[in-house]
Amino acid sequence: MGTDVAQRRPIRWHIGVFLAPAVLVYTALMILPLAATLNLSLFNVTEARETVFVGLANFRRLFGDPLWSEAFWNALANNAWFFLIHMIVQNPIGVLLAALLSSPRLRGAAFYRTAIFIPTILSFVIVGFVWKLILSPIWGIAPGMLDAVGLKALFVPWLGKEQYALTALALVSVWQFVGIPMMLIYAALLSIPDEVLEAAEMDGITGASQFWKIKLPLILPSIGIISILTFVGNFNAFDLIYVAQGALAGPDFATDILGTFLYRTFFGFQLQLGDPHMGATIATAMFGVILLGVCIYLFGVQTRLRRYQF
């Protein structure tokens, strides 16, 4: 009887019809280029200008040849620091702002949300050039502003110092994108049922205590999603570094990340000739790093956060 019912169950062709356009577009724009990149990384060009299959030789060259490995590990370390700054500065500030803006006692919350989110919609080119002008020791306003409050001695040309440049650009990126975690956490806070908050108030849990004991555990899944989005976004970063520091990511490659390293390798820059095969190898390595991070989150973090979902 159960078999007959299963056989008579209608096939839902409309689901395939609705999904087909999105699948085709995603395949054309994402899957096929990814496959082409992976394929390109397995080939190289000989001195006779012939393209030959080399297997994993390009990866051995990237990780083992000092000419390539030093630049790759430097870019990877810079990328990790760039991401870490966002994790320890941007996301906590986003959570704090969301908690403040979700308070029913705050007046003008809509204006504050809009003002904080506006930098997110600005072009990377605008943000990069504006902050480069602001921080310039020659015509920037940063020295004057610090002088006005008696702190001019603290000013240094942050974008021109190897030890400060990457951190300064990471903080600029935090300023631009802090609105994204703020809005996502704000939406998560608003989705908490009123019954839960009313029960907490009846138990005498209010104010900051209510946030730490009730709200924060309930929005941990959203914080986890924001963390993985931050990871993927920062390991795909390129625009801000390129606009502010150029393709060489100075000073002395102190701001070089995987995106700028890939750009110089694939397309070439100044006296460096472009090498699409090594560029594809770097792109594949970037894909591997991002895939590893996402897998760690999905299988190691998300499963632990599910206990807080309701």
Q: Torsions phi, psi of 272, nearest 5?
A: -85, 120
Q: Running DSSP on this structure, what letter comes out for residue 52? A: E
Task: Indicate the SS3 state at residue 255.
Answer: coil
Task: Indicate the SS3 state at residue 238.
Answer: coil
Give the list of residues 6+ apart from residue 196 with CB closer than 8 angstroms, or none: 214, 218
CA 60 to each of CA 68, 69, 95, 120, 283: distance values in angstroms, whole numbers, following the listed order: 10, 9, 42, 39, 15
What pLDDT, on a 0 to 100 scale, did the predictor assign at position 310?
A: 45
What pLDDT, on a 0 to 100 scale, did the predictor assign at position 170?
A: 97
* Residue-range domains of the chain with CATH: 1-40 (no CATH), 58-308 (1.10.3720.10)
> What string of DSSP letters covers 106-171?
-TTHHHHHHHHHGGGGS-HHHHHHHHHHHT-TTT-SHHHHHHHTT-GGG---GGGSHHHHHHHHHH
What pLDDT, on a 0 to 100 scale, did the predictor assign at position 272?
A: 83
Tokens of 2: 């159960």
Give the list of residues 6+ apart from residue 201 with CB closer than 8 angstroms, or none: 210
pLDDT tens, N- to C-terminus, the chain (310 residues): 555 555 667 777 888 889 999 999 999 999 999 999 999 999 998 888 888 999 999 999 999 999 999 999 999 999 999 999 999 999 999 999 999 998 888 888 899 999 999 999 999 999 999 999 999 988 889 989 998 998 888 899 999 999 999 999 999 999 999 999 999 999 999 999 989 888 888 888 888 888 888 899 889 888 988 999 999 999 999 999 999 999 999 899 999 999 999 999 999 988 788 999 999 999 999 999 999 999 988 887 776 666 545 4
Of the candidates 79, 257, 93, the one whose C-alpha atom is nearest the C-alpha of residue 174 is 93
Separation between Cα atoms, residue 310 and residue 306, nearest integer Å: 8
